Amino acid sequence: MRLDRFLTARTRLSRKEVQRLLAAGSVLVDDEVQMNTRHEVKQFTKVVVNGECLQDKKPVYIMLNKPAGYLSATKDDKHPTVMELIPEELHEGLHVAGRLDRASTGLLLLTNDGTWSRAITMPSSKITKTYLVRLRNPVSPSTQETFRNGIYFAYEDKTTLPTHFDIIEPTLVRIYLREGRYHQIKRMFFAVGNKVTSLHRESVGHHQLNDLQAGEFRLLTACDL
């Protein structure tokens, strides 16, 4: 949003009054005097007028090890949500960047930065996500070939991207996914006659849970991003 439009929207000043403020050097943007009416004000731009701070929102990035039983949502009337695991002072503007089912566990990213979350979740990004998946029946080597070739989903009329997994135990695999369709892993194994009994996300891109325990979270720094 243009600076002059931001100021008229956030104050009761007229457009001419805003222009006079800017010309007088009374507006600080990110701690510097700004006189350009067309200067772009973004989500985390700091704006101060005559000593009064109109906006000083800080970006927040959170990695959470989601336990089972919590919804990947900011609020729900029937079930606990992951927000209950985050201190209230961090709640403003938070949203989930890449959901997990209520029964699923593992790495969940939350942020108030819409640009960052879109970059992580948009299909074109093809960021690799790693999951530890427990199955009802032993998995066969032929399933690996089927996944590498992609599985057709009639509902979306699309075929999944080639997907690789490692067999750890007969009924335990580590799968590497580069897209995120609705219940994709469950649907892929269902298509080959198997069933997922538990699903745990270990990583999203370079973000890894490591020693973060279930129900714990940590704030990500600029270096982590």
Q: Please give the DSSP secondary-structure letter assigned to residue 109.
A: E
Report phi then psi at 84, rounded to 5. -70, -15
In the block, tokens 């001419």 appear at: 16
Instruction: Give the CA count within 13 Å in the CB-facing half-sphere of 217.
Output: 21
Q: 60: which 2 tokens? A: 């927040």
Q: Cα separation of 217 and 44, whole Å?
A: 23
Q: Which one is catalytic: 4, 101, 157, 166? A: 101
31 is catalytic: no
Q: Cα separation of 93 and 200, whole Å?
A: 26
Q: Which amino acid is at 122?
A: M
Q: Tell me the pairing of strands 32-33 and 129-135.
A: unpaired
Radius of gyration from C-alpha coordinates of the chain: 23
Just list the catalytic residues.
Answer: 101
